[in-house]
């Protein structure tokens, strides 16, 4: 198949593109190389992909509607996986405009372009952050989500709703993923697992918010990519739920699917695992809760399993060891 991946120079887009190329698909990757974090890492990911036959990079901003229409016409993909976004909770406190542009404007531009050139399946990334202040655990796709706690979550929730409207109006089959804290090799330098490893190896203290009293459903990137590749052929069909727990819309070929490990880990246990993998003790800088953060995330992954027969299972000992090994190799430290 010809698959268009947006955010192909990003952490998840890189891993997904690599997996799709290995499976023999052709991948057209779009990325604007946004300088939110080290652009050299994004360029290195793309350079890796460019070594594979079947990868075509396109460097531009998705909000550029004429260019996007031209690339879609030229590439004629059967499937679009939309991962490009402004991610991160803390950055949103100071730079809400980046979330409005890269999440709302860019995603709307993509949906409008796909309207003129429909695809067999459109899959788009949302986040566990949309569960906001919900306290009923584990989080289910059918839970009400109306309490986003930060601009990142609010813009992602809006893209779910805009995606639903397009799926309804245009009968465009659409799957919305809700990812739960993804980590692994080639990861994002703004995320805690990366920052902690970086600081511990350099002998700098690490900032631990809410005195470590937080839990996250950490999901290893290879498991996430496995789940995405299995969801590509699961095209939602209006009126055909797969199970009583299905989140399928009653009025559109649209569903939301959690992709998480379904086993939350205490932040301090996660840090202890990084200490084990690096062989160093962290200097802990205990801080109060950051505004906009949630205390705990926990995915119910029954729907993913009902759809694909698969559920993520890699534990943090294996996942962190793989990340730290990559870090040593990539940064030669
Ligand atoms: N990593 C996680 O833990 C996590 C958790 C939940 C949801 N997500 C979502 O998964 C997706 C991928 O996340 P990631 O961790 O790979 O992030 P990332 O920042 O590494 O990748 C996103 C990529 O999109 C590109 N991009 C941003 N705006 C663009 C635009 N307007 N036009 C073209 N390219 C643009 C960036 O340059 C970047 O390379 C995002 O939608 C994110 O919100 C990630």
Going by CA atoms, what residue is nearest to atom 12 of ligand 1? Answer: 83
What is the sign, positive or negative, of the torsion defined by CA atoms of 121, 125, 126, 128?
A: positive
Terminal CA-CA length for the chain: 39
Residues with CB under 6 A from ligand 1: 7, 9-13, 30-34, 42, 61-63, 83-87, 102, 106, 125, 127, 179, 181-182, 188
| Closest to 81 measured CA to CA, from 109, 42, 115, 122 | 122
267-278 helix and 192-202 helix, angle to the nearest 10 degrees: 40
Which atom of ligand 1 lies closest to the CA of 152?
43
Q: Is the pLDDT of residue 38 over 90?
A: yes
Query: What confidence score (pLDDT) does residue 209 get?
Result: 95
Q: Is the pLDDT of residue 200 over 90?
A: yes
Protein fold of 2-331:
Rossmann fold (3.40.50)
Query: What confidence score (pLDDT) does residue 23 get?
Result: 97
Q: How confident is the model at residue 246 (pLDDT cuts 50, 70, 90)?
A: very high
- The beta strands (E) that lie in the chain are given as 2-6, 26-31, 55-59, 79-82, 121-127, 174-179, 182-183, 206-208, 215-216, 219-220, 254-259, 265-266, 284-286
Calculated CA dihedral for residues 139, 144, 150, 152, nearest 10 degrees: 80
| Closest to 56 measured CA to CA, from 77, 78, 35 | 77
CA dist., res. 296 & res. 290, Å (int): 13
**Polymer length of the chain:** 333
> Quick one: three-class SS letters along 115-178?
HHCCCCEEEEEEEHHHHCCCCCCCECCCCCCCCCCCHHHHHHHHHHHHHHHHHHHHCCCEEEEE
Q: How far apart are the CA of 144 and the centre of ligand 1, in A?
A: 25
Which atom of ligand 1 lies closest to the CA of 125?
41
Query: What confidence score (pLDDT) does residue 24 get?
Result: 97
Q: Specify the DSSP class assigned to residue 105.
A: I
Which residue pairs from 281-285 have beta carbons closer than 8 angstroms and sit at least 24 positions apart in sequence?
281/200, 282/196, 282/199, 282/200, 282/205, 282/206, 283/203, 283/204, 283/205, 283/206, 284/205, 284/206, 284/208, 284/212, 285/205, 285/206, 285/207, 285/208
Q: How far apart are the CA of 248 and the centre of ligand 1, in A?
A: 25
CB 145 within 8 A of CB 158: no
Active site residues per annotation: 152
Q: How far is CA 20 from the centre of its chain?
A: 16
CB 298 within 8 A of CB 221: no
- State pLDDT tens for residues 228-243: 999 999 999 999 999 8
pTM value is: 0.98
Q: Which residue has the tokens 């950490």?
A: 218
Q: Is the pLDDT of residue 265 over 90?
A: yes
Q: Residue 183 has which token pair?
A: 């980590």
Q: How confident is the model at residue 333 (pLDDT cuts 50, 70, 90)?
A: confident
Stretch 207-226: mean pLDDT: 97
Residue spans per domain, the chain: 2-331
Which atom of ligand 1 lies closest to the CA of 88?
43
- State pLDDT tens for residues 277-315: 999 999 999 999 999 999 999 999 999 999 999 999 999
Q: How far apart are the CA of 279 and the centre of ligand 1, in A?
A: 31
Q: How far apart are the CA of 87 and the centre of ligand 1, in A?
A: 6
The rounded mean pLDDT for the chain is: 97
């Amino acid at each position: 198949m010809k698959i268009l991946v947006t955010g192909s120079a990003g952490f998840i887009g890189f891993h997904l593109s690599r997996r799709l190329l290995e499976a023999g698909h052709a991948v057209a990757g779009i990325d604007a190389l946004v300088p939110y974090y080290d652009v050299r890492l994004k360029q290195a990911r793309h350079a890796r992909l460019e070594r594979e036959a079947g990868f075509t990079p396109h460097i531009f901003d998705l909000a550029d509607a004429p260019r996007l229409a031209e690339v879609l016409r030229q590439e004629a993909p059967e499937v679009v996986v939309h991962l490009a976004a402004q991610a991160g909770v803390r950055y949103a406190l100071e730079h809400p405009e980046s979330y409005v542009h890269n999440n709302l404007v860019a995603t709307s531009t993509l949906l409008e372009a796909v309207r003129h050139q429909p695809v067999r399946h459109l899959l788009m990334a949302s986040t566990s952050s949309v569960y906001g202040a919900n306290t009923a655990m584990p989080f289910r796709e059918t839970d009400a989500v109306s309490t986003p706690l930060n601009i990142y979550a609010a813009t992602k929730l809006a893209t779910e709703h805009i995606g639903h409207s397009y799926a309804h109006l245009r009968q465009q089959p659409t799957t919305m993923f809700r990812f739960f804290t993804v980590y692994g090799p080639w990861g994002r330098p703004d995320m805690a697992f990366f920052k902690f490893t970086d600081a511990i190896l350099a002998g700098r203290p690490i900032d631990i918010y809410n005195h470590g009293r937080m839990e996250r459903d950490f999901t290893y990137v290879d498991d996430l990519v496995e789940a995405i590749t299995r969801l590509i052929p699961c095209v939602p069909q209006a009126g055909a739920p797969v199970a009583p727990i299905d989140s399928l819309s009653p009025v559109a070929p649209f569903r939301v699917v959690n992709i998480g490990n379904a086993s939350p880990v205490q932040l301090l246990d996660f840090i202890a695992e990084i200490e084990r993998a690096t062989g160093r003790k962290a200097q802990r800088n205990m801080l109060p809760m950051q505004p906009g953060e949630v205390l705990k995330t926990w995915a119910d992954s029954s729907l993913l399993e009902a759809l694909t027969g698969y559920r993520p299972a890699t534990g943090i000992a294996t996942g962190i060891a793989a990340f730290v090994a990559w870090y040593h190799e990539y940064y030669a430290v």
